[in-house]
Amino acid sequence: MLSDNIRTVRKNKGFTQEDLASRLHVTRQTISKWEKGLSVPDAEMLSKLADELEVSVSELLGAKIETEAEENAIVEQLSRLNEQMAIRNRRSRRMFKVLGVVLAVIIIVPVMITCGGLAFFQTMRSSSDVDMAGKVTYECAIGDNSYELNLYYDEKYNILAADYSSGGKEEAQEEDIETESFIDNIVNEADNAKDTDERLRKYFSERGGTVKIISHEGLEL
């Protein structure tokens, strides 16, 4: 409902995705993901989005919310959406890992055999090294959960790739789902390593968590 409402209201206002992204200071890809239901804005961004589209938050969410409980209802609905997104993203990551292994067996192994494997891998590695100027690994902790996040970036600090792993409690709580959703958005949407560093530290600091760099290679932030 939220994704359809964002798209419908935006078009009714005569905004392109680029127009709305500029007003909210996010990327066009972020707007596209909201409208495709691939991610959802957090509570603060949802409020800004409603202001720009000149509708109420409850209209975007597609439900009538009582005034006294409006804020709690919004957070609850966003939490449910974030939980669904986190589950879908975890499934997607597992699927892509399996596909990656299959493609490696089907494509890379025959090429190694026909092209003289070691020389082929050396060529691939040198090409990658030309692009990547730095790598930073963070250890982020909040409550009983911890996350290890890797960012790979070029000499202009444009992020080339990002990945993370998590550890801690077996049962995910609401705050854990919110954090995983936040990190998923970084992995899927981040474009500048320095900006991402600031976002990461602010997020965990505001929630009583910690962020520390456990390894740094190449160009430092």
Tokens of 32: 């596209």
Residues 74-88: tens digit of each pLDDT: 667 777 777 777 677
The model's confidence at residue 127, banded by pLDDT at 50, 70 and 90, is very low
Domain 2-77 - what CATH class? mainly alpha
Distances (CA, A) of 72 to 4, 8, 75, 115, 175: 22, 25, 5, 61, 15
How far apart are alpha carbons 192 and 158 in whole angstroms? 5
Mean residue pLDDT of the chain comes to 80
Residues 12-41: tens digit of each pLDDT: 999 999 999 999 999 999 999 999 988 899
Q: Per the confidence metrics, is the pTM higher than 0.75?
A: no
Closest CA to 218 of 146, 103, 128, 149: 128
Q: Are 136 and 193 in contact (CB under 8 A)?
A: yes
User: What is the number of residues in the chain?
Assistant: 221
